[in-house]
Structure 1
Amino acid sequence: MTTFLRSVSAEFAKIFTTRLWWLLAIVLFCYIGLIAGGLGALLAGVETGVISPDAVNTGGAGAFGFGSLPPIIYSFASSVGYVFPVLLGVLATTGEFRHQTLTPTFLATPRRGVVLAAKTVTLVLVGAGFGVVGLAASVGLGGGALSAFGVDALLLDSETWLQVGRTILAMGLWAAIGVGFGVLVPSQVASIVVVLAFTQFVEPLLRLAASFLEVTAQIGNYLPGSASDALVGASVFTLANPAGAPPLDWWQGGLVLLGYAVVATMIGYAVSWKKDVT
């Protein structure tokens, strides 16, 4: 246990002695704040009639299912911002291979499984912190925009805070997936390209294509983004579901995300982490 705690402390030092974490956190806050605040104001204005639906060509907010805006606006922290903890996990892992810092790490702690477990735990906690940052933007700026247009931000509703807690958990699990993928694909450039391509293009297209048939929609529920949205309990992506297939329960979504992290980490440990790194 002492060795594990020392490894966790060392992993925290590796992260917080670089500029990477706070640069990603700042971009995350600005990105989510812009989306949540902007769409929160737009949709709240349409729903309350302050903004004419014809002016934004929506045909009425109700047609898009915006009867309960706060959960959707708050979910942007994870449904859009999840790529940031994934990238942090990937960079924290692949950077070890790129800069050969694994050599002194393994000399200090020869038990490589302990090192990987410590890195995973550390990134889960930092990823959860990114969840707090994303929520500060989506709840703070998005909720503020809703309140400014007279829409109840539901900040006193227990369901809102349950969603907040599940969002923090989801972001922590996304960071663990990043660690697992970074171990599986130790090339930093390749892993970043794959992560960005999959999260920003491939998976959204797969989710859209799967949503048109009930059978494929049920399969699509097990994509990582769909599982994350199920864990959080709300997402703008779930509004466009022509087949009407029900999503996974929140705990099922959490288990699916955890499964992705565990499988990627175990395979990566077997194929790259145990190899000679000198």
Structure 2
Amino acid sequence: MTAPTTSRRSPLGLVSAEVLKIRTTNVWWLFGISMVAVTLLALGLNMLITHYQLSPPLDQMSEESRMQMEAEAAAARSTAGLIKITANLMTSGQYLGLLFALILGALVVTNEYFHQTATATFLTTPHRTAVIVAKFVAAGLFGALFWLVATVINLVVTPIYLSSEGVAVHLTDWPVIQSVLLSLLAFVMWTIFGLGLGTLIRSQIGTIIVGIVVYLVSDILLNILAPLLHNWIEKDWVLGLPVIAPATASTIMITPGRAFEHAPPQWAGLLVMIGYVVILGGLGILLTRRRDIS
């Protein structure tokens, strides 16, 4: 019996092969269309919220509420407030978009096991670390594509909307640019997160369910539990604990200043996400190298 043919593809060749695998499925463009819809929906909601931040209906409020809302509107119209608003508008669609990136990353590896093509892949290119790294890069490229779709839409709409509200547009301020770039990093990170999760679980349905639970449920639970725990411990740092939920860490990472009261700084969210990606990515490579592929 003839032994399987092996090849020593260049790193670029391996990445190209993985990109081609993704392109030959319907998932990436279905997610791309969904990304457009989610971004438009989130942008519309953010614009509505922003309108009431900048121009609250004061005539419908009591005197006490009116004074508070006037102070909040003045803060929103300050330079710092407008920078935060602009960054929020420019990253519209990220919350659900990152979930798409996670699922895409998971499918990149679980599809191989589901369709039983993993054996052929690793026999053709036996250097498993190179293959899994190529998958990381290919998935990250599509995560970046999702980010680009959302960013282009936001870039077109945001300055038009802010001008219509009669406020300064701060697109070129560094905190806004930084948020947009960190959003790109978040999309890439979440594809690697999903891919690493897929190598751990292998089951396509199981990986997607666990990924959704990790993304949505951990975020919701920690944001509910933190105030309850604060009532018991009475330490303000407890209110920052939701940062250990990866979805919250991503939000903190891209938000100028503080994402919410008592939230840790941006670098804390970034470090949490780096930790998750390094652990899951490293475990993904380790398990792929050691596991039987049959």
* Structure 1 and Structure 2 fold alike (TM over 0.5): yes
- Relative to the length of structure 1, the TM-score reads 0.83
Shift of the 118–233 alpha-carbon distance from structure 1 to 2, 3 Å rule, reads same
User: Which residue of the partner structure matches residue 105 of structure 2?
Assistant: 89
Q: Which runs of structure 1 show a deviation greater than 6 angstroms over 4 or more consecutive aligned residues?
A: none
Query: Which ranges in structure 1 are unaligned for 5 or more consecutive residues?
Result: none
Q: Which residue of 1 aligns with 2:173?
A: 157
1:233 to 220, 245, 255: 255
Q: 1:127 to 1:114 in 2, by over 3 A?
A: same
Matching of residue 119 in structure 1 with residue 143 in structure 2: no
SS of the aligned residue for 1:221 comes to helix
Match of 1:9 in 2: 16
1:101 aligns with 2:117: yes
Supply the distance in 1 between the matched residues of 2:216 and 2:153 (Cα, whole angstroms): 20
Q: CA RMSD in A?
A: 3.0
Aligned length: 270
Structure number with larger C-alpha Rg: 2
Q: CA deviation at 1:77?
A: 3.6
Per the normalisation by structure 2, the TM-score is 0.79
Distance in 2 (alpha carbons) for counterparts of 1:220 and 1:169: 20
Structure 1 position 259 matched with structure 2 position 280: no
Structure 2 runs not aligned, ≥5 long? 1-7
- The 2-side partners of 1:102 and 1:9 are apart by 17
Per-residue CA distance 1:29-84 (angstroms, 9 max, x = gap): 211211112321x23332443x626779x973865975332122223343442111
Change beyond 3 A, Cα 1:2–1:81: same
Change (3 A) 1:97 1:254: same
Mapped partners of 1:127, 1:74: distance in 2:
17
Map 1:115-264 → 2, pairs under 5 A? 115-210=131-226, 212=230, 213-234=235-256, 238-239=259-260, 241=261, 244-245=262-263, 247-250=264-267, 252-264=268-280
Aligned sequence identity (%): 29
CA contact (8 A) 1:32 1:137 kept: yes
In 2, Cα distance between equivalents of 1:151 and 1:274: 58
Q: Distance in 1 between matches of 2:200 and 2:59?
A: 49
Query: In the alignment, residue 229 of structure 1 is paired with which amino acid?
Result: T
Aligned counterpart in structure 1 of residue 28 of structure 2, from 8, 11, 21? 21
Q: Distance in 1 between matches of 2:207 and 2:9?
A: 32
Separation (CA, whole Å) in 2 of partners of 1:91 and 1:82:
14
